[in-house]
């Protein structure tokens, strides 16, 4: 039986955590630029994920000391890890290589749409019209930022293939966001993220073995290793755990819309550290995204109880 939840949770600590997550992800786009000039994307990903997995198991041992999950939960975590950490990363990385920065930013910004659609079809969350308006406003804001920053948007044979891969990656991330929610009813965000990332890393590493063997490890600079450390600690460890906490507290759709703050943060950090210009169109886009975020975050919704969601595993 579903229940009405007309009053959304008030803005608070979880929202600040999600803003911190998008800040880390925006900074991640800045720091990895130099690293990818020296490291293959697959090798870079394996290094940062190995670091993140090691940190999360250490945190789990210190904070909870409870690694237990049931066999049924383990199978669900395995599927969640494959979707959110193996398939998603493969789609996303290859999509970036084949598409433009502008196209990629827009495709990634569609994730909240996929979350809302999947949640609606599976009847785990229902978004009222005000929420859909908010998602549309966010997408429009991302479009303004793309054109205001001068990023190239192209429609060519190679670009379309990259766009389709990135779009598939956004769909996988949306699926991961919702797949994590049932098991978050009974387990902490730290435990769920640790298991999902570990189980996703294993096949990803196997797929990346030829790249790892071919990588020239002797000519990697300190700046690139710093990028690996930043990405592993902030973008993955803190980012994924914070994201799971948001899903647990706010639901998938309300959490997913925070992802659209990432291009705003990346642009702001580029302006501060790389002296990139901010045009009036970019400022308008950032303001538009904030309006859309407020509309989605404050909209009422109809959702199933945690107990009902937990029984769906």
Phi first, then psi: give them for residue 126, nearest 5 degrees.
Answer: -125, 125
Q: Helical H runs in 150-221?
A: 157-184, 189-214
Considering only CA atoms, which of 17, 265, 29 is closest in space to residue 142? Answer: 265
Q: Which of 268, 282, 270, 259 is nearest to 25 (CA)?
A: 259
**pLDDT of 249 over the 80 cut:** yes
Average of per-residue pLDDT values in the chain: 85
* C-alpha distance across the termini of the chain, in Å: 17
**Which residues contact residue 218 at a Cβ distance below 8 angstroms, ignoring those fewer than 6 apart?**
none
The residue among 232, 107, 222 whose CA lies nearest residue 172 is 107
In this prediction, residue 137 carries a pLDDT of 92
The owner of tokens 């298991």 is 195
Q: Residue 184: which of 304, 310, 311 has the closest Cα?
A: 310
CA-closest candidate to residue 70, choices 166, 239, 183: 183
Q: Which tens digit of pLDDT belongs to each residue from 141-195?
A: 888 887 776 665 555 555 677 778 888 998 999 999 999 999 999 999 999 999 9
Residue 132 token pair: 């859909």
Distances (CA, A) of 265 to 13, 22, 99, 195, 269: 19, 7, 21, 29, 6
pLDDT over 60 at 226, yes or no: yes
Other C-beta atoms lying within 10 Å of the C-beta of residue 118: 19
DSSP E strands: which ranges in the chain? 2-5, 125-127, 301-304
In this predicted model, which residue has the larger pLDDT, 209 or 154? 209
């Amino acid at each position: 039986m579903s229940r009405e939840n007309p009053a959304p949770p008030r803005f608070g600590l979880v929202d600040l955590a999600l803003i911190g997550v998008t800040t880390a992800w925006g900074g991640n786009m800045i720091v990895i630029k130099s690293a990818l000039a020296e490291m293959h994307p697959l090798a870079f990903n394996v290094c940062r994920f190995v670091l993140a997995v090691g940190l999360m198991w250490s945190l789990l041992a210190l904070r909870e000391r409870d690694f237990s999950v049931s066999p049924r939960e383990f199978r669900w975590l395995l599927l969640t890890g494959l979707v959110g950490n193996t398939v998603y990363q493969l789609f996303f990385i290859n999509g970036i290589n084949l598409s433009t920065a502008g196209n990629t930013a827009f495709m990634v910004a569609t994730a909240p749409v996929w979350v809302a659609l999947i949640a609606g079809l599976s009847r785990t969350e229902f978004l009222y019209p005000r929420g859909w308006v908010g998602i549309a406003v966010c997408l429009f804001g991302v479009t303004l930022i793309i054109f205001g920053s001068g990023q190239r948007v192209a429609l060519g044979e190679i670009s379309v293939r990259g766009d389709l891969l990135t779009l598939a990656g956004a769909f996988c991330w949306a699926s991961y966001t919702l797949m994590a929610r049932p098991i978050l009813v009974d387990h902490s965000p730290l435990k769920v993220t640790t298991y999902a990332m570990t189980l996703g890393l294993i096949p990803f590493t196997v797929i990346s073995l030829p790249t790892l063997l071919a990588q020239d490890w002797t000519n990697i600079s300190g700046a690139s290793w710093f990028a690996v450390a930043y990405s592993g600690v902030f973008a993955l460890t803190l980012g994924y755990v914070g994201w799971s906490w948001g899903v647990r507290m706010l639901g998938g759709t309300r959490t997913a819309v925070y992802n659209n703050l990432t291009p705003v943060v990346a642009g702001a950090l580029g302006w501060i550290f790389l002296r990139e210009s901010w045009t009036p169109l970019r400022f308008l886009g950032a303001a538009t995204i904030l309006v859309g975020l407020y509309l989605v975050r404050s909209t009422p919704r109809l959702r199933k109880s945690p107990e009902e969601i937990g029984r769906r595993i």
